[in-house]
Structure 1
Amino acid sequence: MDRKLFEQIYISHWEELLKYAYSFRIEQKQAEEIVQDVFLSLWQRRNDLTSDADIKSYLYKAIKYKVFDFFRKESRKQLVTDELRLQVCDAHCYTEQEVQFNEVKKLIGHAIEKLPCRCREIYVLSRNEGLKNKEIAHKLSISEKTVEQHLTKALRFLRQKINQ
């Protein structure tokens, strides 16, 4: 793939890929960064793809995986933030922030209980036990795609419950 063809692909697919990234309910800045990262990856792998159909398929799959990766990183950041809050708070000093944090934690706990059984099981294995998608898939005898779908569903559900 030469530069001219790459530019044509970029111009013809940029907007639809951005809309696709938005469909995962992420902010504009993150959606744009994801689409840019995917096009950078396309340029770096330009010699591996042969036809326009392969390229379009590659772009959509790459967007989906980048979005999942973004959500995974965001949830890990949240876990680290939660752990840091617990470490900073003195055991005897209940500040307003700690009370709010405990309320959110309780809200998340109740929301997790409302998840469908399999979805909750996968979420707990991922977030509480720290298993990777591949390990969960192997343990439950399901595909990694199914694990990803359940985690996406769980995170979307939890986000909705917390924002209510």
Structure 2
Amino acid sequence: MLYRLRQGDRNAFAELYKKYWRRLFDSAYKRLLLREECEEIIQEIFIDIWEKRETLVITVSMEAYLFGALRYRIYNLIRSRKIRNAYLDHLTNTQEIEKNYIEDSLYYDELAGALARSIENLPEKIKKVYQLSRRENLSYKEISLQLNIPVDTVEKQMGKAIKIIRASLKDFILILILLAESGFE
């Protein structure tokens, strides 16, 4: 089926979608309990597969790959929820909540958006290494095996990714200072 997907076979994609969508949804729903979030995560997984079909490397079964991707996306969603909730909890405990909440929330959203754009604009190979490391929590050795490149290449590409991201976020230092002044930790 992967071969057919790589060739752009929409029927193969439709078969894959029909075969796994319900099982992925049920698995996600057990953890998230929000239908919209589950549907969005699953859509993102299938969109990712279609968009990257020509270069997709899957070293396990398609089922294992899909459920692994689902697990990582759920983990990242829960982690971002916790971070955002901790930040919002902090804001609710400050004395100037009415005054600072909207402004701080805008700063946070602007910074998060800038980070996402920065990652999206990375060169393709570097972005792949960065995403496998940060989003899928793979070790450099695991990334090396999956992409069939030396570990030192993975390390260099991660270093480049971090350097590029830092450079692109340099204009947001003021936002970080304002967040720090408002007590965001």
Q: Which has the higher contact order (CA 8 A, sep 6+)?
A: 2
TM-score, length-scaled by structure 1: 0.49
